[in-house]
């Protein structure tokens, strides 16, 4: 089966696309899109990979589900399309970014500009039915994105992983911490941000680590 994904990723993920779980996942997703409103739009399902090649990848941020409101999800975790009101978690991310590096909160919540600098904005589940949070969980996406994280850990060195919240931290269990730099904090949602996300300074810490390796810092 042909999956439309950039060549750099296709090479390392090709074997996943032929596994029984993935073929079942594709059947499920196709049926969902044919019968229901599903986000993100079909061409944006693999947007995180399209905007950040494996060669250029320097940072990974792990989310859970795409946003399930109309027009929100654009295939990048925590990100929304231009012109869409920023969800609370994203507002808190920008708040911490401002407190950490003095970066003013941008008007647009579209994080494509991060992705194009080598930040993989990876949701654990890449699709969701409209207005139904978690509706595409445990259908195979998690197994696929676990494989993605494993492949990054195996094939790269010195990647910064930002794991916000218990779910992302559990998902990061496959990361080789001897080869990579793992930063953990509370989730940026309003329910948890005060419990360790605010003040984590992950943006400046990420850039300091990249600079130490002689890599260009992220223009957050």
Q: Which residue has the tokens 């250029």?
A: 56
How far apart are alpha carbons 186 and 197 in whole angstroms? 5
Q: Pairing state of beta strands 38-39 and 128-129? A: antiparallel
Catalytic positions: 65
Q: Cα torsion for 11, 80, 22, 120, to the nearest 10°? A: 30
Using CB atoms within 10 Å of the CB of residue 194, give its burial: 0 to 12 exposed, 13 to 18 middle, 19+ buried: exposed
Please report the beta strands in the chain, taking only residues with DSSP state E, as ranges in sequence order.
38-39, 59-63, 119-123, 128-129, 160-164, 181-185
Q: Which residue has the tokens 């499920």?
A: 28
What are residue 211's DSSP bridge partners?
A: none
């Amino acid at each position: 089966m042909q999956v439309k994904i950039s060549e750099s990723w296709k090479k390392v993920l090709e074997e996943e696309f032929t596994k029984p779980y993935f073929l079942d996942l594709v059947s499920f997703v196709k049926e969902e899109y044919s019968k229901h409103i599903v986000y993100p739009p079909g061409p944006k399902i693999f947007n995180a990979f399209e905007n950040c090649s494996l060669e250029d990848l320097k940072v990974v941020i792990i989310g859970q589900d795409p946003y399930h409101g109309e027009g929100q999800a654009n295939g990048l975790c925590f990100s929304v399309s231009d012109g869409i009101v920023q969800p609370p978690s994203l507002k808190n991310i920008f708040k911490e970014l401002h407190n950490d590096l003095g970066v003013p909160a941008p008007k647009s919540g579209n994080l494509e500009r991060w992705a194009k600098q080598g930040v993989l904005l990876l949701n654990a589940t890449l699709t969701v039915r409209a207005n139904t949070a978690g509706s595409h969980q445990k259908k195979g996406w998690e197994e696929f994105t676990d494989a993605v994280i494993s492949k990054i850990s195996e094939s790269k060195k010195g990647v910064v992983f930002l794991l916000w919240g218990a779910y992302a931290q559990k998902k990061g269990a496959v990361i080789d911490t001897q080869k990579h730099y793992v930063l953990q904090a509370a989730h940026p949602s309003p329910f948890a941000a005060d419990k360790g996300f605010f003040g984590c300074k992950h943006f400046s810490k990420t850039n300091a680590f990249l600079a130490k390796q002689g890599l260009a810092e992220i223009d957050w």
